Amino acid sequence: MTATGHHRSSVDGTEVDARAAAFLSAGTIPHVIEGERRMSRVGGERPIMNPSTGNQIGVVADGDADDLDDAVRSARAAFEDGRWRLLAPREKEERLHRLADLIAEQREVTGDLDGLDAGIVRKYASFVSQASINALRYYAGWPTKISGHMPPVGPDYTVTERIEPIGVMGVIKPWNGPAAFFNQVAPALAAGNSVVLKPAEHTPLTATYMALLALEAGIPPGVLNVVHGAGAVGSALVAHPGVNRLSFTGSVNTGRALAAAAAQTFKKVNIELGGKSPVVVFPDADLDLAASTAAGSVWNNSGQVCTAGSRTLVHRDIYDDFLERAVKVSENLTVGHAFDEAVDLGPLITPQQRDKVRSYVDIGRAEGATVRLAGGAPDSGGNFQAPVIFADVDMSMRVAREEIFGPVMSVIPFDTEDQAYRIANDTEFGLAAGVFTRDIARVERAADVLDAGTVWINCYQVLDAAVSFGGAKYSGYGRSLGSPALEEYTRRKSVWSRRYR
């Protein structure tokens, strides 16, 4: 896995790192359970498709509830025998740093794997891989710092409040940033838990590769298991009595069903769901910055980002000027194969997702929105959709209310500051919001009023592993990243002791 050199090999007509090609050509992409590469018990497999070409590039083990049970039992045994939980904190830190080093050394490999099965373009793939590296670096420093305290309770007793790992964590990850899965896994490991990860069925490659790197870094077998499969595997993970807590990132409908199912076994759940995030642009804003940042937030990863600023609210005094600038910075973007260095937007994940996005473009037209940028796309077999900018949008339109998860930007006019906030909050989602203004007092008012888990001022989609992230309303609950994430993966135990005199 750590062979030196950066030779290139061909996969589906594309030059990739030879290590990525070798990983794919070795046969069926396996589950990783108890440190072993395992096939499904019943021998099931499913194809891995390249969204840039529509071609099959490999096969992955297609698991079921029995494979999931094997993974959970392995993780439970690893937790109970203490091979990771009871490891010296300093040793945990060293191994997590070692894993970050391995991923950093092989970011070309993980970037190529994300490009092959998720269609993520090179410039964005680097950001996704770096997210995992940053999370591992940040949480690697925590095992020696997680400690309880001794509350004062009087002369007759001594009380210790301990902070302990919970047990086996189930993590279900989406397909729009496979290499970033350590955002959820790193804090769970730092706290001493074991993890069973189910990647999205369309994007199995990076999760398997990174799980193998984790073994190489010294994460003991069974502490990080990966099981592939469709929704039935996720359902089995949610229902399994051996799983103590869940982290899920995905759609609102799936999150609702998952939360209801988890309640049957009293599992707490961290849920990050969708978004229809507003970006509010006031007349005193730096318009060039606002237009390029707002548009870029929707075009990043071809719009397949939960925080996409897909509702852009612009004061009527600068509305036409803003639109002109947004179109100008967007109209010459190139759409195409994820490995083409000149491409700005790669493919959508599946033909079904591409067709869904195109259907919303038709819906916007039918609802009366004005098309200011009509996105075409290369007709080359991939799941491509170029940027679309709608003007004259109002909150009665579906394109302003429903998450499209594609490169479609709806620009909504407003007249007053209060009206802007009412429009911004007029949504079932609450993941993020952006504000562009030079007025410091307005910044404070916006931060107070906007109903979202993250508010960015004169910037957007800025993340740091030390800063917590999460949503409000239908965008979910619980926080990832930062020290609050450790609270999600630990529990407190109070130990009372009578003093003898």
Helices (H), 264-310: 287-299
> Is 67 strand, coil or helix?
helix
27 CB-near residues (< 8 Å, 6+ apart): none
Q: How many CA atoms lie within 13 A of 73 on its CB side?
A: 6
Catalytic residue, chosen from 272, 324, 331, 402, is: 272
In angstroms, rounded to a whole number, what is the distance separating the alpha carbons of residues 255 and 274?
A: 10
Helices (H), 226-378: 231-239, 252-263, 287-299, 319-330, 351-367
In angstroms, rounded to a whole number, what is the distance separating the alpha carbons of residues 267 and 253?
A: 18
DSSP 8-state secondary structure symbol assigned to residue 271: E
448 CB-near residues (< 8 Å, 6+ apart): none
272 noted as active-site residue: yes
- Give the pair of three-digit tokens for residue 468: 């917590």
Which one, of 183, 53, 55, lies nearest residue 129 by Cα? 183
Per-residue burial over 83-95, b if 16 or more Cβ lie within 10 Å, else e, is: bbbebeeeebbbb
Torsion angle in degrees (nearest 10) through CA of 323, 324, 330, 331: 130
| Long-range own/partner contacts, residues 78-84 (CB < 8 A, 24 or more apart) | 78/194, 78/220, 78/221, 78/222, 78/223, 79/165, 79/167, 79/168, 79/193, 79/194, 83/220, 83/222, 83/223, 84/189, 84/192, 84/194, 84/219, 84/220, 84/223
- Strand pairing partners for 226? 32, 197
DSSP 8-state secondary structure symbol assigned to residue 303: G
In angstroms, rounded to a whole number, what is the distance separating the alpha carbons of residues 3 and 421?
A: 54
In angstroms, rounded to a whole number, what is the distance separating the alpha carbons of residues 373 and 390?
A: 7
Helices (H), 13-88: 18-25, 65-81
Question: Reading across the β-sheet that carries 245-249, which strands appear in turn?
Answer: 36-38, 31-33, 224-226, 194-198, 168-172, 245-249, 268-272, 476-477
> Is 246 strand, coil or helix?
strand
- Strand pairing partners for 46? 60
Which residues are known to be catalytic?
272
